[in-house]
Amino acid sequence: MNIDEAARFLLSHDDFEILTHAYPDGDALGSGFGLCLALRQLGKNARVIYTNLPKDFEFLTEGVTEQSFEAGTIVSVDVADEKLLGSNREKYQGRIDLCVDHHRINKVEAPLKYVDPGAAANCEILFELFGRMNVKLTKQIANCLYTGISTDTGCFKYGNTTSKTLRVAADLLDLGIDAPWINKVMFDTKTKLKLKLEQEIYGTIEYYSNDRCAIIAATLDMQKRLGVGDDELEGLASIPRQIEGVLIGITMREKESGVFKVSVRTDRRVNAADFCARFGGGGHAEAAGCTVKGTLDEAKAQLKRAVDGVL
């Protein structure tokens, strides 16, 4: 379907439940709450379904009060695969009416899909969609969209940023959003604990394949010892990729004993989504994720074998 058809679908339906993926990021939550506010502005019922809400993203929920209604229409935003719905998967799998997404590898099974892999963020799609729907962009909706766009592009740093992305962001800035504050919270704020964690993580860096791969790991033991949780562990993934000469940066985070959530960030010469697909994961060309099981050493060995396969 094209974007006008997606707009017409949203305009002609009601009682929306908006699904985001588990471990939601700025684009998932910005898309969810932005769309929710837009639909409510049009007089419709809408709520966002999410697995958890990291503290830094709470500002996105401003003005989104509880609404009591029977769900009629299910829309997923920024969800590349129903597997990524986490604890909401069982309830919603196979029930999505409309899927709006920007992941090239989108595998959601839904009767209606609008997927634009050229969009840097799902929120960039929503900006255009809201224009077609004659949604008035309030400051709060603009905050949601800006948050999604800035977080998915690393504040306009990554290769997915197009001139259109920048112009959309310019239009959002003109709506009076507090972009410097959002950016500071998203990109330039670290707790003391986070600094301690980074100091420790730097000590775990392991180079592999002639230093073209760097691996860091946050074991459960380390997490417990430092007392760090999701808030601190977010964002570690950018560390190994930054090292000069590294083509594949791998971040291993032990979620439960023997289960590692793995984030892969790559130079453009290596496809991160393909890499993670070997482990049943997925994502973007330069940023993807998967889960690997085993002890730290076993999981690392599996990942190294995969590195050997691509380098």
> Max CA-CA distance within the chain?
59
Span of 93-101, 109-117, 163-171, 287-295 interacting with its own copies by CB under 8 A:
163-171
Structure token digits, residue 294: 């085993």
CB nearer to its own copies: give 91 or 167: 167
CA dist 193 → 158, 196, 197, 236 (Å)? 27, 5, 6, 13
59 binds its own copies (CB under 8 A): no
Structure token digits, residue 4: 């006008």
284 binds its own copies (CB under 8 A): no
Distance CA 15, CA 266 (A): 41
Positive or negative torsion for Cα 231, 151, 190, 297: positive
Shortest reach from residue 232's CB to its own copies, in Å = 11
Structure-token match 């997915």, residue found: 160
Question: What spatial distance separates the first Cα and last Cα of the chain, rounded to whole Å?
Answer: 38
93 binds its own copies (CB under 8 A): no
Binding mask 196-215 for its own copies (x = CB under 8 A): x-xx--xx-x----------
103 binds its own copies (CB under 8 A): no
Residue of 54, 154, 235, 258 interacting with its own copies (CB under 8 A): 154
Number of residues that bind its own copies (CB under 8 A): 40
111 binds its own copies (CB under 8 A): no
The amino acid present at 68, given as its one-letter code, is: S
189 binds its own copies (CB under 8 A): yes
Beta bridge partners of 305: none
CB nearer to its own copies: give 71 or 185: 185
Torsion of CA 128, 133, 137, 141, to 10 degrees: -80
- Within 243-272, the residues that bind its own copies by CB under 8 A are 243-244, 268
CB nearer to its own copies: give 69 or 202: 202
Shortest reach from residue 83's CB to its own copies, in Å = 29
CA dist 38 → 31, 41, 170, 276 (Å)? 10, 5, 20, 35
230 binds its own copies (CB under 8 A): no
190 binds its own copies (CB under 8 A): yes
CB nearer to its own copies: give 63 or 117: 117
Of 137, 179, 190, nearest to 26 by C-alpha is: 179
Span of 71-79, 109-117, 170-178, 269-277 interacting with its own copies by CB under 8 A:
170-178
Give the gyration radius of the chain's Cα atoms.
Answer: 19
Residue of 14, 15, 171, 234 interacting with its own copies (CB under 8 A): 171
Question: For residues 41 and 135, is the Cβ–Cβ distance under 8 A?
Answer: yes
Structure-token match 């998915």, residue found: 152
Shortest reach from residue 235's CB to its own copies, in Å = 11
Write out the residues near its own copies by the rule CB under 8 A: 154-159, 161-164, 166-167, 169-171, 173-174, 179-180, 183-184, 187-192, 195-196, 198-199, 202-203, 205, 238, 241-244, 268
